[in-house]
Chains A and B, each alone.
Chain A
Amino acid sequence: MDKILLAIEVLCGISLALTLLLLVAEFFFANYGDCEIDINNGDKKITAKGGGSLLSTLSEDKVFIPSACGGRGSCGFCKCKVDKGGGPVLPTETPYLSEEELKNNVRLSCQIKVKEDIAIRIPEELLSVKEFETTVESITDLTHDIKGVRFKLPEGETVRIKAGQYIQLVAPPYDEVHEPTSRAYSIASRPSDDEAIDLIIRLVPNGIVTTYVFEHLKEGDKAKLVGPFGDFYLRDTDKECIFIAGGSGLAPFRSMLYDMIEKGIKRKTTFFFGAVGLRDLYFVEEFAKLSEEHSWFKFVPALSGKEEGHSYERGLITDVVARSFEKMDNHEGYLCGSPGMIDACVRVLTAGGIPEDQIFYDKFA
């Protein structure tokens, strides 16, 4: 008996000693003290505790660099120029950086660990990105797996967006999720509506934020939004527009269309909305009405499923687009949807004759 106890004691003692040693080591090695982050050559200086990622350290001080994946290193959006500090480029970053960017010290801010004083440069307007404490005004079921959520801004607060931009919704910790998590959603409301923001959110199986929205968020709840971000907006040309959306990718186009109507832009526009079955369609009447009222706008929903009893276009959205145009020599493409859909659509549009730099898209990574 004594022998067993002794064995347990010795084992526990050794484990305890090693744990203490690890803690001491962590205190010495992983403690980077206070680091200074210099933004845009002295425009703003932040002193923060080292050890965290640059992205999260900045956001704690209310500087928000856009990130669609929330710092997992899978979207490649959170790029910033690092002039000083930051260490060598990590293998997790290289897939997202072009040679030009590597030469110019562009890095992914979510992969950089703040260990020393860092000097970075970010676009001026990011310093004006704001964090909003909104109230959920309404939640509408649009389809079986898509909800429209309207967030009311606090009294006196306004938001300036460009139609097509996106904003990040921050889900607080819930259930098994212990960290606040943010994901990007395109804004569906018109820019002139500066008191509230509409988002269209599709349930992603096991998605942290979408699950939160679908199972926990109620009308009247508080919700944190950060933004707006993004360079997905209507370019100032007079070319004919081809809008292609799938699923919740309809959101930015709703915003863009209302913006065009309000501003009196009458560029010829065709909006293709791809879905599988009738149950995946939403806002169809609204867009059909717009298309009746405005001769320059045409709305084309297309269903890829085998369902009967509807008069919409049939087939994959790429095929529908391809057969709708004889040539696309004076067109611009705007795409929003899953990466697979976008890649396929880019191929169709470039094959039709649209140069790649005139195709704009938001990929849901």
Chain B
Amino acid sequence: MEVTDIHPLVILFAAITTDNILLARFLGMCPFLAVSKQVKSSIGLGTAVVFVLTCTSVLNWIVYNSILVPYNLEYLQYIVFIIVIAAFVQIVEMAIERISMSLYMALGIFLPLITVNCAILGGSLFMISRKYTLLQTAGFGFGSGLGWMLAIVAMAGIREKMKKAKVVPQLEGPGIALIIAGIMALAFIGFSGVMKIN
């Protein structure tokens, strides 16, 4: 089966579960460990990632296929993708501040931080290397964002419950968080092969 034949919805679900960008590819680990102490703030960050990842994947697909490919400049993809992501985040921040102050407050510092989240850049690079179509890219971007959010919210939930648990002192904080992430990743990887997307 050709990659282009895969239905975008399949890609979406696969990106959430079997091909979870965080737990299967380990991209975006830094905020995953740093901002997963509370469910509330992890939902805020997750929402921002879903939105930015979806939009920038699509934007970057357009830029890549309509500018870089015709000029044979595919090797510029890294720098171009980063600029596009940075500019997009800036515009979104201005727009949100104007339109919804409460959303702006909820996202807070997370929005600008997302610019350097490697899951965002990873999403754009995967859709290029897997040769997705525009629709597939949209599904992949949205799914990856949702998958990332699912992972961080689950992590935050676990860590909130863990507060009462006794952890070996040497493993408190990031140590136990990494172990939990590893176990979660095992669970997600258990599903790999159910849906094939590349």
Is there a chain A Cβ closer than 8 Å to B129's Cβ? no
Give every chain A residue within 8 A of B67 (Cβ-Cβ): 10, 14
Q: Counting chain B CB atoms within 10 Å of each CB, which of A3, A14, A22 scores highest?
A: A14
Map CB proximity to A onto B122-166 as digits: 1 under 8 Å, 0 otherwise: 000000000000000000000000000000000000000000000
The answer to whether A18 and B94 touch (CB under 8 A), given A7-B76, A87-B101, is no
User: How many A-B residue pairs lie within 8 Å, measured between CB atoms?
Assistant: 48
Q: Contacts A7-B76, A88-B102; is A18 near B108 (CB within 8 Å)?
A: no
- Interface assignment of A344: CB less than 8 Å from any CB of chain B: no
User: Which residues of the partner chain B approach A115 to less than 8 Å between Cβ atoms?
Assistant: 98
Q: What 0/1 pattern do residues 168 to 190 of A give for CB contact below 8 A with B?
A: 00000000000000000000000
Name the A residues within 8 Å of B63 (CB-CB).
Answer: 14
Interface residues in B100-125 by Cβ distance below 8 A to A read 101-102, 105, 108
Give the residues in chain B near A90, CB-CB below 8 Å.
Answer: 105
Q: Are the C-beta atoms of B68 and A25 separated by less than 8 Å?
A: no
* B73 close to chain A: CB less than 8 A: yes
Interface status of A47 (Cβ within 8 A of chain B): no
Q: Are B80 and A21 in contact (CB under 8 A)?
A: no
Closest Cβ neighbor of A25 among chain B residues: B91
Report if A21-B94 is in contact (Cβ < 8 Å); known contacts: A7-B73, A10-B67, A87-B101: no
Complexed CA–CA distance, A88 and B105 (Å): 8
Known: A25-B94, A26-B94, A30-B94. A15 touches B83 (CB 8 A): yes
Contact between A6 and B105, CB atoms less than 8 A apart: no
A340 CB-CB contact with B under 8 Å? no
The chain B residues found within 8 Å of chain A, CB to CB, are 63, 67-68, 71-73, 76, 79-80, 83-84, 87, 90-91, 94-95, 97-98, 101-102, 105, 108
Q: Point out the residues of chain A lying under 8 angstroms from B98, CB to CB.
A: 29-30, 115
Q: Are B80 and A11 in contact (CB under 8 A)?
A: yes
Q: What's the nearest-Cβ distance from chain A to residue B108, in Å? A: 7
Partner of B87, one of A3, A22, A29, A30: A22
Main secondary structure of the interface of A (DSSP, over half): helix
Residues of B within 8 A of A87 (CB): 101
Closest CB in chain A relative to B121 CB, distance in Å: 16
Asked whether any CB of chain B lies closer than 8 Å to the CB of A95, the reply is no
A residues less than 8 Å from B105 (CB atoms): 88, 90-91
Residue among B71, B73, B79, B83 making CB contact with A18, cutoff 8 Å: B83
A26 to chain B: closest residue by CB: B94
Supposing A18-B87, A30-B94, A88-B105 touch, asked if A11 and B71 sit within 8 A by C-beta, the answer is no
Which residues of B are found within 8 Å of A19, using beta-carbon distances?
A: 87
A18 and B67 alpha carbons, distance in the complex (Å): 14
Q: Return the 5 tightest CB-CB contacts between A and B, nearest first.
A: A18-B87, A29-B94, A29-B98, A25-B91, A87-B101
A18–B95 contact, CB under 8 A? Answer: no
- Kindly list chain A residues whose C-beta atoms are within 8 Å of the C-beta of B108: 91
